[in-house]
Structure 1
């Protein structure tokens, strides 16, 4: 072929924290209905090189300077079985400084057009000023990729080999990837979907897969337009506290996203994002009382969110670090430390009925919960404490045993546990007393291996696997039927399903937590959980994911975190399947009826909830050790050299 061993395309670029670039490669093999007699099916080759200086490889506080890359056919669907291994997507989750990622684009069947998508995402976590430099080259052979001089630098970003007239490359930036797709109808109504990232995370890269999957459901809504957005300015600020982050998100929604076309709104939060969006909702309800009268709240969804904090389900060294403020105000809030404006933790104050009663208005309230392999957020916290733990352990028994998990012990036999004292037939749906007592006692005993396994894996391992995730094997991508069951529990819980409160919570007829009595953290968690359940039902979807479950649950990277695909599929199918605004949701023959209570405030909000609405001095929002160290490292580097060279 003319053009053998020649470069076809070359481009230099760089991406910062939360940024990704997409290269859409289109190759017209032939035109017209007739297949040319001299057609050639020679492969095309792609190389991505991380050109960051090798000296920055270990500069984690400024980076890490790592790229994630994947290449797939445009029509690839994770639910479709792949017959030819040449159609299998390829990816590199950990492209270090000065390393290359090389892959072949095979033309193994005769068809008029081939289209591939190449994604390159930044793995920077700690610093929003630095960037990862890279080059992408496309050639007619492996040899053509060895010497960039075959494609003049002045042609950067253009197809530079005239022998490949049918090949074109479209480069898309992060902003272009997040653009709202063209409307499929003339309707001006819009459904605003807010995605909220977690601690030391970002929306733009970490939640891009979720965004694109939700947009695929647009065809189900012919009379409205989905608009998916996320607040980008909270990156590198997540140590400053839930209030700081929540106010930023609320103001973004009110000042930048809302207009007269917005008729519906949904919130989807991952990890800390679940609490951030809760604060934002309460803030909007308090400061802008008419908002949820004009805009219909549809979905409130959290994924692995520490709704009860992480005070008791973590090792002692983590608790001490939280209390000391090693991750700033946020860590102290998650540790259920009393706030500067009250003798109660922020999460307790946020669960005030007059605040969260706005959640009554949401059509659906769903919690996605990691049962295992999540060392960041304990199961009890993301599930609002109350689950049928005996049933959950039985379902997990086979999987954990087959994986030779060292923490696993057989599930508790209910016949050997204290009998259920509740014999009322109308309460058959309640969490059994034996199940609850077994969990509650083991929760206080951190030496119990079974409870430890359900509540916490290694925090250190989980942090490491954000950038270095254990990836699925090739069979996972080729054969959907070979994938393990992910959704292991899906049930709607109401206040009536809850077991009786622990005896220590009561003082007369009043919950002790509602007076000035000082509570242990474990007692405070139960009090907060019961406040969230008061008069509200919650759909709780428990999932069993392989490590890193905390980031797999949102598919942080399309293929490296592919174990979470079924979770996103479930989320989209359940919450964006069709326009059912007038149809109650049904699950297990139980119907969820919308709460029609009117949200009112009899007291001027700035007096009743001054702790929520008062804008603090910037110094009140404290960063932690990581952000401080990253800032100093960045300042030092900027004085001595340029990271962006």
Structure 2
């Protein structure tokens, strides 16, 4: 049977690195009962970039992802009530269509997200989004159904907007939770974690989630430069030097991947430039790293380390590839871990220090470096992922999982991926039997010398390095129980 599509709404905008467009669209037939009822709408999203740019990966890539789900099911508690429609990559010149079924009461309410997948530059990608009403036959009305549509539009700045701390009526009793993304990452990598925190503490205005965008497309400039940029932005936001009392009273740091290294440098920098007063006036609570290369990245496969050594991944890439033995000049990461360094001194002040580490399926950050070398784990759980399997998971990026009810059920309520959770004290670290130890072991021993670490090891299906942080809410849903564990075990009140 032939159908007639009547365009009832459209909008155009653009995305750059680390940006999101979120629409909440409501279709209400009761606004005009004289119109013929509509059972379905067609959503169409088009990437307006010319097709010729599809191969321009290093200058973009010029693609974005999109999803749509009934708004009532956007929160995790109701998420299994509806399966989202999802497109992991809408390429240059490509359109994606999805059918939206209108409920029997004639009122449809959906949330649509369009997320930039640009990694390497600040190019802008234009897109167009349209809604069509579907009719079984030709209709005479030209466009009477547009009056049934109401919508809200939120840009990145709206979603990540921070409150003005000086205006809050909280008597400075504010806990600032800092979320830091990794190499070639963006604030969008922490979107799920940010909103999970906000959802859990929705009735508390004393918890502020701070996810700055200061290092978008700049993470290759080096650990020191990126970390100082972040620290200076943080100091300005909390009102340091504006008054005797900063606008916050507590701080926690959560870093994914390279973001954990950035945070190590940040706390040392804050300790140094304030002569230790920052962590006297502001109580440090949780320091959490998620799949972070705390000991560098010497175990990476050759096809990753080779371009890093050549500088193709910037100064940061070179800093992460450590030599196997100590050299005349101490690498940056080794200096951070030294017991007399500002970073080491500052980190000791945190009430809790927790590491989340993938034991398998992470081809970017291996277990040894993300878990600080020493773990008390059974041999059976130490699965060795060889080159072919590593390549398989690396290539899985181009073959994402289908967003099915089974996948979401396993992700949200299946077997927990947490296989090891233990607090390690200095006494738990074995005495070295060698005189000439590797840089990695030396750094690990420095970090364990006078502080405890909680180590949480996880086994996640799929691409673990991005799943563990739930980089994209639907595509990387396999890591949602890790985020739930993080929030259950790190009280922010």
Shorter-chain TM range is 0.7 to 0.9
Indicate which of 311, 325, 345 corresponds to 2:331. Answer: 345
3-state SS, counterpart of residue 265 of structure 2: helix
Counterparts of 1:476-491 in structure 2, within 5 Å, are 476-477=407-408, 483-491=414-422
Q: 2:251 touches 2:285 (CA, 8 Å); kept in 1? A: yes
Partner of 1:331: 317
In the alignment, structure 1 residue 504 sits paired with structure 2 residue 491: no
Deviations 1:357-404 (A, max 9, x none): 2122212211111111000001110000111231xx53x4xxxxxxxx
In the alignment, structure 1 residue 563 sits paired with structure 2 residue 478: yes
CA distance in 2, matches of 1:528, 1:535: 13
CA distance in 2, matches of 1:361, 1:71: 44
In the alignment, structure 1 residue 135 sits paired with structure 2 residue 132: no
Q: 2:411 touches 2:481 (CA, 8 Å); kept in 1? A: no
Q: 1:82 touches 1:479 (CA, 8 Å); kept in 2? A: no
CA distance in 1, matches of 2:252, 2:408: 31
How far residue 180 of structure 1 moved from its aligned partner, in angstroms, is 4.1
- Sort the Cα spacing of 1:261 and 1:114 in 2 relative to 1 into closer, same or farther, 3 A: farther
3-state SS, counterpart of residue 496 of structure 1: helix
In the alignment, structure 1 residue 495 sits paired with structure 2 residue 426: yes
How far residue 457 of structure 1 moved from its aligned partner, in angstroms, is 7.4
In the alignment, structure 1 residue 120 sits paired with structure 2 residue 114: yes
Indicate which of 77, 85, 93 corresponds to 1:90. Answer: 85
In the alignment, structure 1 residue 68 sits paired with structure 2 residue 62: no
Deviations 1:408-466 (A, max 9, x none): xxx7xxxxxxxxxxxxxxxxxxxxxxxxxxxxxxxxxxxxxx5455xx87666665555
CA distance in 2, matches of 1:302, 1:207: 13
Structure 1 ranges of 4+ moved more than 6 A: 36-39, 456-459, 479-482
CA RMSD of aligned residues (A): 3.1
- Sort the Cα spacing of 1:480 and 1:527 in 2 relative to 1 into closer, same or farther, 3 A: closer
Partner of 2:206: 225
- Sort the Cα spacing of 1:143 and 1:237 in 2 relative to 1 into closer, same or farther, 3 A: farther
In the alignment, structure 1 residue 216 sits paired with structure 2 residue 205: no
3-state SS, counterpart of residue 271 of structure 2: helix
> Which is greater in Rg?
1
Indicate which of 171, 174, 191 corresponds to 2:156. Answer: 174
Partner of 1:537: 452
TM-score (norm 2): 0.87
- Sort the Cα spacing of 1:559 and 1:168 in 2 relative to 1 into closer, same or farther, 3 A: same
CA distance in 2, matches of 1:237, 1:123: 16
Counterparts of 1:144-159 in structure 2, within 5 Å, are none
Indicate which of 274, 284, 301 corresponds to 1:297. Answer: 284
How far residue 242 of structure 1 moved from its aligned partner, in angstroms, is 1.1
3-state SS, counterpart of residue 201 of structure 2: helix
Indicate which of 253, 260, 267 corresponds to 1:267. Answer: 253
Q: 1:375 touches 1:458 (CA, 8 Å); kept in 2? A: no
3-state SS, counterpart of residue 442 of structure 2: helix
Q: 1:373 touches 1:457 (CA, 8 Å); kept in 2? A: no
Aligned residue pairs total 474
Deviations 1:459-481 (A, max 9, x none): 66665555654445442235767
Considering fraction of residues, name the structure with more strand.
2
CA distance in 2, matches of 1:458, 1:235: 31
How far residue 29 of structure 1 moved from its aligned partner, in angstroms, is 4.7
Partner of 2:243: none
CA distance in 2, matches of 1:570, 1:482: 12
Q: Structure 1 unaligned segments of length 5 or more: list them.
A: 145-149, 152-160, 397-410, 412-449, 506-518, 580-645
Indicate which of 179, 189, 192 corresponds to 2:176. Answer: 192
Partner of 1:516: none
Q: 1:123 touches 1:467 (CA, 8 Å); kept in 2? A: no
3-state SS, counterpart of residue 57 of structure 1: helix
CA distance in 2, matches of 1:142, 1:228: 45
- Sort the Cα spacing of 1:284 and 1:122 in 2 relative to 1 into closer, same or farther, 3 A: same
How far residue 566 of structure 1 moved from its aligned partner, in angstroms, is 1.1
Counterparts of 1:371-382 in structure 2, within 5 Å, are 371-382=359-370
Deviations 1:580-637 (A, max 9, x none): xxxxxxxxxxxxxxxxxxxxxxxxxxxxxxxxxxxxxxxxxxxxxxxxxxxxxxxxxx
How far residue 119 of structure 1 moved from its aligned partner, in angstroms, is 0.3
CA distance in 1, matches of 2:239, 2:395: 38
Counterparts of 1:422-441 in structure 2, within 5 Å, are none
CA distance in 2, matches of 1:53, 1:38: 39
- Sort the Cα spacing of 1:15 and 1:468 in 2 relative to 1 into closer, same or farther, 3 A: farther
Q: 1:94 touches 1:467 (CA, 8 Å); kept in 2? A: no
- Sort the Cα spacing of 1:481 and 1:247 in 2 relative to 1 into closer, same or farther, 3 A: closer
Partner of 2:231: 250
Deviations 1:264-315 (A, max 9, x none): 111111111100110011011011121111111111111100000011x223
Partner of 1:283: 269
3-state SS, counterpart of residue 536 of structure 1: coil
Q: 2:176 touches 2:207 (CA, 8 Å); kept in 1? A: yes
- Sort the Cα spacing of 1:50 and 1:317 in 2 relative to 1 into closer, same or farther, 3 A: closer
3-state SS, counterpart of residue 558 of structure 1: coil
